[in-house]
Amino acid sequence: MEIYLQFILLGLGSGVIFAGLALGLVLTYRASGVVNFAHGAIAMYATYIFSSLLQEGAYPLPALPNPLALVEAMLGWFGIQVDLPDLPTFVQMGDSWPWPAALVIALATAGLIGFLFHYLVFRPLRYQPPLSKVVASVGLMLMLQAGIVIRFSNRARNVDNLLPNDGIDVLGTTVPADRFYLLAVILLATTILYLVFQRTKFGIRTRGAAENEQYATLLGISADRIAAINWILAGILAGLVGVLAAPITGLNPLNMTLFIIPALGAALVARFQSFWVAVWVGLGIGAGQSLLQIMEARLDWVPDINLSQGLPLLVIVIAMMARGQVLPSRGAVERGRLPMALPTRIRPRLMIFWLLFTSVVLIWASFEWRQAMINTLIGAVLALSLVVVTGFNGHISLAQLSLAGIAAFMLASLATDAGWPFPLAPLGAAVVATGFGLLIGVPALRVRGASLAIITLAAGVAIEVFFFKSDGWLAGDSTREVAAPSLFGIEFGPNSPFFLGDGKVPSPAFGLFVLAVLTLIFIAVIRLRQSMLGEQMLAVRANERAAAAAGVNVPAIKLAAFGIASFLAGIGGTLTAYKFGTFNMASFGVLGSLSLFAFAYLGGIATVSGSIYAGSLVSEGIGTLAFEKLFFPLGRYEAYLAGIFLVLTALIQPEGIDVFDRRERRRIGWGFVVLWRKLTRDPDRTKPEWATRIYPKPKPRRPKEAAELAAATGALGEKDPQ
């Protein structure tokens, strides 16, 4: 039995970091109503700074993109080779720092990050709908994570242990002492926070502001300053937890960033309100994971399926299902609105032009452009799945790429193992993905906004660890062959022969096949937007209560959105599998899901045409390739820039590039063409329909006859009850 106790105690190590992060999540939520997905990334960032200072005496500067690199590249077009200065990367101060100094600087940085998050991002977003806040915090998470990868690469890093960790005996088993010191630190922090919130004026003001921001403001409390202070505290706390726990959990740019998921689970059980509940649940998840691990190894009746990794998801789902809409709302007004779902019209001439253009690229362009075009087309299919579920129905799903992965895996099983013929195998695979998508959609019947984002993120991770990881259910199957699709004896895989072009990979036949699939789906989703089903989705997005009162079967509509979106994601997944010729789990990771969401949002998540922009932006897509050809290789900056632009989009242009383009095309971009059109345009030409939607006609005056009516009916309102 000792071994189980030992593992429970060992698990406290990761439990402490979950608990510590959960504590910070509760703090920021109570202070500003934001669920900060980037909280784990702050801890990770601070820990890297600490370890870098301690070991090398180097302080990593934030990885800002260097505008001079653009200048260098543009001069290069004219054959001028210049070497403009690069931005500094590290500030070197001595060889290695004493730990207290390194700790102070690391924590100060973490506090500063917390403050900047609040001041630059979440304060401006405070009246925006949850979608914008989730998007921004996911963007910040990508940014911090990719920023560290730029400076330190993906490799794991050693962190010196500040706590004594000689073994101590507990109930007959030996456990390193650092767990207990950590536990003491976190319990002390919780006690302090608890007392501050219960006893001090500051704490009471924070609670007041959380209860009703408007009233608190009327009482002269600056909800803003209170939020700022709490954000700084949360940042420092995250840094401290990261630095102290890293020797136990290990440190790389991803693992600590994703510790946010169990922490979110703990915070969710605490309804983002109770510090103590969050901490105990966080510790429980850590201990439970460790216990499950040893049980899987030791006991025969416990299936060896990575249960321990699924525990956080389980906790989250149970908390959600038990509690329904768990996040208490603040008395704040939402003034912002969701991205407008402008309809996209099918304009045959424009469509034929783009189809021809794309076909030409797919057939005659060089290898890399063909490949990039295919990536873009597949990216657009995947983005369309988010357009349906997030754009039309308002649900944030961070698991779409994981669903695509399931379809890709199923394709390998159905087509290769079971020998299903072409259209059946990918369709069947997509149907399986739909089933999983519906499963993820079930919690959406009761929760939305940030809570749903948490659930889908956890589901994505669970799919990854259960199915795709080396020790998951599909162990050993992580790469499987997928045969090229063929119909009526004509093969159109990436290596299939084609009568035009250079006869090399990727085959134009495959490219045209993908183009045909995208075109079909594109038109289908345009039609969906115009159909009753699409309108009902938008009605549910706008107002669930009112939709129900208007006779809309809200749960059915939500499930329909999840189902359709998962099916599209599944199709995207099968296309990816065909492209590689194998099922490759690496293409369907959770970071990929987050990036996909980022690109879809950037492109324009609520409009069908936005998916095309999203597709161009994806990694190795056509837009990315064009940028790299024109300027410089993006490399590690790609994810980083995606994060930055995601945050900026949420802040300035929540509708994404597509609507921005539709709105601003007259002012920028097309310059001369537009000027020419303006000069030659028929003045009587009516505005296109979307234009009247974006620039609404002046508000109609009250009907003329209203005044007469009032006179005629004897001004009903004027009579007194007597």
Partner 1 sequence: MTALLHTEGLTVAFGGVKACDGISLDVNEGELLGLIGPNGAGKTTFINAVTGFVPWSGRIVFDGGDLDGLPPHRIAHRGLTRTWQSLELFGDISVRANLEVAATKMTPTMAIRDYFGRSQKLAERVDATIEVLEMGEIMEQRPDDLSMGFRKLVGVARALVADSKLVLLDEPAAGLDRTETAWLAEKLRQVIDFGISVLLVDHDMGLVLNVSDRIHVIDFGKTIAIGTPDEIRNDEAVIGAYFGSSGGDA
Nearer to partner 1, 476 or 721 (CB): 721
The answer to whether 260 and 40 are in contact (CB under 8 A) is yes
Q: Which of 231, 266, 293 is nearest to 20 (CA)?
A: 266
- From 19-27, 456-464, 611-619, 707-715, give the range in contact with partner 1 by CB under 8 A: 707-715
Answer yes or no whether residue 554 interacts with partner 1 by CB under 8 A. Answer: yes
b/e for 171-186, b at 16 or more Cβ within 10 A? eebebbebbbbbbebb
Q: What is the DSSP string of 66-123?
A: -HHHHHHHHHHHTT----PPPPP-EEE-SS---HHHHHHHHHHHHHHHHHHIIIIIIT
CA atoms within 13 A on the CB side of 456: 32
Answer yes or no whether residue 693 interacts with partner 1 by CB under 8 A. Answer: yes
- Interface size with partner 1, residues (CB under 8 A): 48
Answer yes or no whether residue 700 interacts with partner 1 by CB under 8 A. Answer: yes
b/e for 33-56, b at 16 or more Cβ within 10 A? bbbbbbbbbbbbbbbbbbbbbbbb
Answer yes or no whether residue 707 interacts with partner 1 by CB under 8 A. Answer: yes
Distance CA 42, CA 150 (A): 16
Answer yes or no whether residue 679 interacts with partner 1 by CB under 8 A. Answer: no
Q: Which of 195, 351, 550, 668 binds partner 1 (CB under 8 A)?
A: 550
Nearer to partner 1, 100 or 717 (CB): 717
Which x/- pattern, by CB under 8 A, does the window 489-528 give for partner 1?
--------------------------------------xx
Answer yes or no whether residue 531 interacts with partner 1 by CB under 8 A. Answer: yes
The answer to whether 314 and 261 are in contact (CB under 8 A) is no
Q: Which of 55, 7, 12, 4 is nearest to 245 (CA)?
A: 12
Q: Which of 116, 475, 548, 648 binds partner 1 (CB under 8 A)?
A: 548
Nearer to partner 1, 262 or 534 (CB): 534
- From 29-37, 338-346, 494-502, 509-517, give the range in contact with partner 1 by CB under 8 A: 338-346
Nearer to partner 1, 297 or 707 (CB): 707
Nearer to partner 1, 242 or 339 (CB): 339
Place of tokens 């075109």: 519
The answer to whether 608 and 630 are in contact (CB under 8 A) is no
Answer yes or no whether residue 719 interacts with partner 1 by CB under 8 A. Answer: yes
**Structural element, H or E, at residue 169:** strand 167-170
Answer yes or no whether residue 560 interacts with partner 1 by CB under 8 A. Answer: yes
CB of 686 to partner 1, least distance (A): 12
**Is the four-CA dihedral 509, 510, 514, 520 of positive or negative sign?**
positive
Q: Which of 61, 553, 586, 629 binds partner 1 (CB under 8 A)?
A: 553
Answer yes or no whether residue 626 interacts with partner 1 by CB under 8 A. Answer: no
Answer yes or no whether residue 335 interacts with partner 1 by CB under 8 A. Answer: no
CB of 251 to partner 1, least distance (A): 44
Q: Which two tokens stand for residue 87?
A: 């931005």
Nearer to partner 1, 678 or 699 (CB): 699
CB of 720 to partner 1, least distance (A): 6
CB of 209 to partner 1, least distance (A): 24
Q: Which of 149, 162, 292, 338 binds partner 1 (CB under 8 A)?
A: 338
CA atoms within 13 A on the CB side of 575: 26
- From 15-23, 291-299, 628-636, 704-712, give the range in contact with partner 1 by CB under 8 A: 704-712
Q: What is the DSSP string of 613-673?
A: HHHHHSTT-HHHHHHHHHS---TTHHHHHHHHHHHHHHHH-TTHHHHHHHHHTTTTTSHHH
Nearer to partner 1, 200 or 543 (CB): 543
b/e for 591-625, b at 16 or more Cβ within 10 A? bbbbbbbbbbbbbbbbbbbbbbbbbbbbebbbbbb
Answer yes or no whether residue 389 interacts with partner 1 by CB under 8 A. Answer: no
Nearer to partner 1, 249 or 385 (CB): 385
**Is the four-CA dihedral 662, 667, 671, 676 of positive or negative sign?**
positive
Answer yes or no whether residue 699 interacts with partner 1 by CB under 8 A. Answer: yes
Answer yes or no whether residue 538 interacts with partner 1 by CB under 8 A. Answer: yes
CB of 135 to partner 1, least distance (A): 17
The answer to whether 16 and 283 are in contact (CB under 8 A) is yes
Distance CA 219, CA 205 (A): 10
Q: Which two tokens stand for residue 302?
A: 């416990």
Which x/- pattern, by CB under 8 A, does the window 74-113 give for partner 1?
----------------------------------------
- From 252-260, 319-327, 353-361, 687-695, give the range in contact with partner 1 by CB under 8 A: 687-695
Answer yes or no whether residue 251 interacts with partner 1 by CB under 8 A. Answer: no
> Can you tell me whether residue 227 is helix, strand or coil?
helix
Answer yes or no whether residue 333 interacts with partner 1 by CB under 8 A. Answer: no
Pairing of strands 58-60, 90-92: antiparallel
Footprint of partner 1 (CB under 8 A): 337-338, 340-341, 527-528, 531-533, 535-536, 538-539, 542-543, 545-554, 560, 689, 692-693, 696-697, 699-700, 702-703, 706-707, 709-710, 713, 715-722
